[in-house]
Amino acid sequence: MKKRPSAWLVFSSLAIQIGVLMYAAVALGQYLDQKNATAKPWWTLGCCVFALLIIIRRIIQQTKKL
């Protein structure tokens, strides 16, 4: 029988994943905004929204495993 990880371990690793993913999304968005010389931060906003969708999906996947 496979032992399940504790809930605090799952959610603490999820918090780290969220932080890294959001940092990467903002960095990528800012890079694309500078490269394309946009007046408003559309790339940053788009990357952040995309990252939030990925985060929501990861949270749903992790909570189903508990």
Q: Tens digits of per-residue pLDDT, 7-47?
A: 777 778 888 999 999 999 999 999 999 999 989 999 999 99
HSE-up of residue 45 (Cα within 13 Å, Cβ side): 5
Distance separating alpha carbons of residues 62 and 11, to the nearest angstrom: 8
Is the whole model's pTM more than 0.85, yes or no?
Answer: no
Lookup: tokens for 12 = 């603490």
Q: Is the CB of residue 11 less than 8 Å from the CB of residue 62?
A: yes
